[in-house]
Chain A
Amino acid sequence: MSVFREVTLAAPVAVFKLTEDFNNDPFPDKVNLGVGAYRTDESKPWVLPVVKKVEKIIAHDDRLNHEYLPILGLPEFRSSASKIVLGDDSSAIQEDRVGAVQCLGGTGALKIGAEFLKRFYNGNNNTKTPVYVSAPTWENHNDLFISAGFEDIRPYSYWDAEKRGLDFSGFLGNLESCPERSIFVLHACAHNPTGTDPSQEQWKQIAEVMKRRKLFVFFDSAYQGFATGSLEKDAWAVRYFVSMGFEMFCAQSFSKNFGLYNERVGNLTIVARNSDLLKRVLSQMEKIVRITWSNPPTQGARLVAVTLNSPDLFAEWKDNVRTMADRVLLMRSQLKAKLRTLGTPGTWDHITNQIGMFSFTGLNPKQVEYLIKERHVYLMASGRINMCGLTSKNIDYVAKCIHEAVTKVQ
């Protein structure tokens, strides 16, 4: 008799199932607008030229080996990664109250942060502290905090389906009425899945309420550079909050902006009140890391560290990032233009107002099903499309299909 006979078949993770279905589809003109990975205009994955260069540098460096990294990760990676999001001139860094933990991608950074908060925030092992995630949000946020032990995950108003934009008053309302000390997961830029970010003025208001009501700031920064093409612009919100004196976490991912998806390169940046507190926090983070993965993988962190710490390579990287961001912006403007030309009902301004890899089209589940089943255009049930899946070769087809879906399917 098996001990596992009661184990049920779990539902597959939606975004990966979508890609699996896409891969199995024999239709020659199929389009994958699902998973969030950059594609070139030839619909190919893109290993950044600077990454190829640095890989060669690393391969030829005889001083390097495969020894364990420290538990908290590669020091040069951690410090340069934190600098990227907080800025070279960050006073918090100068005051020695910024630390970091190298983690397995953005997911890993969120995980370690969540585990720490579970143990040490708002009491010890207080699993009842509410955790607020945007409605909607990246679907793993929810599971991630639950897996860390939190019992009360709540949505904060974010997407206004009617006006296809930010429900700012709803958002502020949640901030004003939630229990004090609640944890808020904020998207630093290029909100996933809506592509809709607060304006600078709105961020200022958000910060004011969060400060006043003693709410915990946990930024998720997965697209720095990818949203506007500018690292500084995309980090504005994070830096503003730091300048307002918040103690906070920022989970950084280098999957998209370095194209290092499968190397699992992430960084949990910690801003504390002073360096003594920071040391204590880091020492406890070490214990959490030790029982999760012991120490992080070397390859990706080395690639990023070498790049960020060399002026030439850093400049080349910024260029590569701009290339990706520009292609996305081009696809946005072209898709909107084509839908306008087709006379597709509705307004499509949100396609160009939204920012980053994703667009919340506003298509409903029936229309999404039509696109997938009848037209072999794969997108998430939420109506989210990955702009990177669009190319000069398929954009006409996709525009036509969206037009059909909107006009034929209610």
Chain B
Amino acid sequence: MCLFLDFETNYACSLKLNSCVLLGVFVKGLLGLRFLSVVNKILRLRKIDSWWAGVQMGPPDPILGVTEAFKRDTNPKKMNLGVGAYRDDQGKPFVLTCVRKAEALIASKQLDKEYLPIGGLGEFNKSCAQLALGADNEVLKSGRSITVQTISGTGSLRIGGNYLARFHSGPLDVYLPKPSWGNHTPIFRDAGMQLKAYRYYDPSTCGFDFKGALEDISKIPEKSVILLHACAHNPTGVDPRPEQWKEIADIVKKRNLLVFFDMAYQGFASGDIDRDAWAVRHFIEQGNNILLSQSFAKNMGLYGERVGGFTVVCSDAEEAKRVESQLKILIRPIYSNPPVNGARIASTILNTPDLRSVWLEEVHGMANRIIKMREQLVAGLKKQGSSHNWQHVIDQIGMFCFTGLKPEQVERLTKEFSVYMTKDGRISMAGVSSGNVGYLAEAIHAVTK
């Protein structure tokens, strides 16, 4: 039976294969459907001489797959509330004015295209850290942190995961909030970490399960890694209040946990970059030497340019140098050095006072439009006569809203109304506009009444 099941043997001689075929037919009958696919693979091998005969079709990405399905739909009223990319009130991608201006500035400088250092564009790294921590942060003044440019948020988390797997002296466990961004789990797992969870979202209130979170966090073994969403939690939009953050910081310190902040929406949540970074700064102030992933995909609309940063706050500058050297060793065999374009744009914006103030306004504008859509959706649902409590739509923050819709309701929304969202009931408010919010209210009401 062993040679039979060794379906990697692409070049088995025909004699062996013929007996395999006979055996295959016999076994097919005996073992039924369960082994059908295995047997079929072997039978296929008679015709296909390929290294890849055993490769299965991978399932579509749950988030990006939504956009694929949306594109195929011909309904003129269709709505894409899947992937978290900001849209203006006409439903169009929004290229920020400060970005266009920065691009023109950069173009006029006629810069060369020489390789960046492995750790990325120095001036970007500096301003990236300053944006998160505040320019006058003691950490930056003492030089006891290192920030490397990464391939947006994903790349940052991946480097962080790889770094932890190699150097973390505590348990190689990452505790994620329940639920978390779908890609967190496979990223950390592939990096070599184990995934665990702490309670976070309370479906009965569509809000924060503060009690549950504290209980779970207080039981996490010492020196484990805990991942926290700095603001605008993805997918729920539920953030702890400052008093709650303070208690979490206390427990985390008591348990001696290594804190890994994922901040993909600074500025996008409340409209205020300092307010959105409050939790990160508070934890550092309380003595947590954190890890931090930042993305500029959303807050600068630089999605496809892949702009991000990974920061490690260390004990002192000497330790930071050692950590930096190891981060470079991790980065080099993946992509050698990062792409310049987006980092130059981000750096130009952050370091040119005029552009920086335009940016702050535009980020504020994006956040405000989202907030307005939340209010209009709830108003629309009330108008439809919905008897449900939709307050959470307004209380939640950032790009996403965890509607509380069940998978069957989500399916109906998609099939009957061409409203596309992820199965967990998450909608991207960025996909809602004044032109379609009424339709959305209608559709949601229809599947929930």
Known: A13-B328, A140-B332, A272-B50. A297 touches B170 (CB 8 A): no
Bitwise, B39-63 to A at CB < 8 A (1) or not (0) is 0000000001111111111100100
CB contacts (< 8 Å) of A44 on chain B: these are: 112
A341 within 8 A of partner (CB):
no
Cβ–Cβ contact B332 & A143, under 8 A:
yes
Bitwise, B328-357 to A at CB < 8 A (1) or not (0) is 111011111111111000000000000000
> Could you tell me the distance in whole angstroms from the C-beta of A248 to the nearest C-beta in chain B?
9
CB contacts (< 8 Å) of A286 on chain B: these are: 58, 61
A53 within 8 A of partner (CB):
no
Known: A47-B112, A123-B8, A297-B339. A10 touches B328 (CB 8 A): yes
CB contacts (< 8 Å) of B312 on chain A: these are: 4
Known: A71-B64, A291-B183. A104 touches B151 (CB 8 A): yes
CB contacts (< 8 Å) of A287 on chain B: these are: 58, 61, 186
Name the interface residues of B303-327: CB closer than 8 Å to any CB of A.
303-306, 312, 314-315, 319, 321-323, 325-326
Bitwise, B155-174 to A at CB < 8 A (1) or not (0) is 10010000000011110000
Bitwise, A271-291 to B at CB < 8 A (1) or not (0) is 011100101110110110011
Q: How far is the CA of A16 from the CA of B85 in the complex (A)?
A: 37
Chain-B contact segment, one of A61-69, A85-93, A162-170, A384-392: A61-69
Known: A67-B85, A277-B53, A297-B304. A292 touches B115 (CB 8 A): no
- Give which listed residue, A5, A12, A216, A292, contacts B155 with CB less than 8 A: A292
CB contacts (< 8 Å) of A297 on chain B: these are: 151, 304-306, 339, 341-342
Cβ–Cβ contact A111 & B99, under 8 A:
no
> Could you tell me the distance in whole angstroms from the C-beta of B191 to the nearest C-beta in chain A?
8
- Of the four ranges (under 10, 10 to 19, 20 to 34, 35 or more), the interface on chain A belongs to 35 or more
Cβ–Cβ contact B99 & A66, under 8 A:
yes
Q: How far is the CA of A103 from the CA of B53 in the complex (A)?
A: 25
Q: How far is the CA of A144 from the CA of B112 in the complex (A)?
A: 27
Q: How far is the CA of A12 from the CA of B326 in the complex (A)?
A: 9
B385 within 8 A of partner (CB):
no
B364 within 8 A of partner (CB):
no
A107 within 8 A of partner (CB):
yes
Q: How far is the CA of A177 from the CA of B228 in the complex (A)?
A: 53
Chain B minimum-CB-distance residue to A111: B334
Most chain-A Cβ atoms within 10 A of its Cβ — which of B48, B304, B337? B304
Chain-B contact segment, one of A228-236, A257-265, A362-370: A257-265
CB contacts (< 8 Å) of B186 on chain A: these are: 287, 290-291
Cβ–Cβ contact B289 & A2, under 8 A:
yes
Bitwise, A69-90 to B at CB < 8 A (1) or not (0) is 1010000000000000000000
Q: How far is the CA of A284 from the CA of B113 in the complex (A)?
A: 32
CB contacts (< 8 Å) of A107 on chain B: these are: 332-336
Q: How far is the CA of A8 from the CA of B117 in the complex (A)?
A: 20
Chain A minimum-CB-distance residue to B334: A111
Cβ–Cβ contact B335 & A104, under 8 A:
yes
Known: A16-B117, A107-B334. A262 touches B152 (CB 8 A): no
A214 within 8 A of partner (CB):
yes
- Give which listed residue, B304, B325, B339, contacts A66 with CB less than 8 A: B304
Cβ–Cβ contact A260 & B304, under 8 A:
no
Bitwise, A1-32 to B at CB < 8 A (1) or not (0) is 01111111111110010000000000000000
- Of the four ranges (under 10, 10 to 19, 20 to 34, 35 or more), the interface on chain B belongs to 35 or more
Chain A minimum-CB-distance residue to B161: A291
Q: How far is the CA of A83 from the CA of B304 in the complex (A)?
A: 24
- Give which listed residue, A16, A120, A291, A296, contacts B306 with CB less than 8 A: A296
> Could you tell me the distance in whole angstroms from the C-beta of B110 to the nearest C-beta in chain A?
8
Known: A9-B322, A262-B116, A294-B152. A283 touches B57 (CB 8 A): yes
Cβ–Cβ contact B304 & A298, under 8 A:
yes
Q: Is the interface of A mostly helix, strand, loop or mixed?
A: loop
Name the interface residues of B92-143: CB closer than 8 Å to any CB of A.
93, 95, 99, 103-104, 107, 110, 112-118
Bitwise, A45-60 to B at CB < 8 A (1) or not (0) is 1010001000110010
CB contacts (< 8 Å) of B323 on chain A: these are: 4, 7
Q: How far is the CA of A104 from the CA of B322 in the complex (A)?
A: 26
CB contacts (< 8 Å) of B187 on chain A: these are: 291
CB contacts (< 8 Å) of A113 on chain B: these are: none
Chain B minimum-CB-distance residue to A277: B52
Chain A minimum-CB-distance residue to B150: A293
Cβ–Cβ contact B50 & A247, under 8 A:
yes
- Give which listed residue, B11, B328, B335, contacts A111 with CB less than 8 A: B335
Chain B minimum-CB-distance residue to A9: B322
CB contacts (< 8 Å) of A273 on chain B: these are: 48-50, 52
Cβ–Cβ contact B85 & A280, under 8 A:
no
Cβ–Cβ contact A144 & B333, under 8 A:
yes
> Could you tell me the distance in whole angstroms from the C-beta of A338 to the nearest C-beta in chain B?
28
Bitwise, B221-233 to A at CB < 8 A (1) or not (0) is 0010000000000
> Could you tell me the distance in whole angstroms from the C-beta of A222 to the nearest C-beta in chain B?
11
- Give which listed residue, B10, B113, B258, B304, contacts A3 with CB less than 8 A: B258
Known: A277-B52, A293-B152, A294-B183. A45 touches B85 (CB 8 A): no
Q: How far is the CA of A56 from the CA of B107 in the complex (A)?
A: 9
A11-B325, A47-B110 known; 16 new pairs, CB 8 Å cut-off, are A3-B170, A4-B169, A5-B319, A7-B319, A71-B64, A105-B335, A121-B51, A147-B334, A216-B51, A260-B113, A277-B48, A277-B52, A292-B154, A294-B152, A294-B153, A297-B341
Instruction: Give chain B's interface residues, CB within 8 Å of chain A.
Output: 8, 10-11, 48-58, 61, 64, 83, 85, 93, 95, 99, 103-104, 107, 110, 112-118, 151-155, 158, 167-170, 183, 186-187, 190, 223, 258, 289, 297, 301-306, 312, 314-315, 319, 321-323, 325-326, 328-330, 332-342
Q: List 18 A-B contacts (CB under 8 A).
A: A8-B326, A45-B112, A47-B112, A65-B95, A111-B333, A140-B333, A140-B336, A147-B333, A147-B334, A263-B340, A273-B49, A281-B55, A284-B58, A291-B154, A292-B334, A294-B154, A297-B342, A300-B339
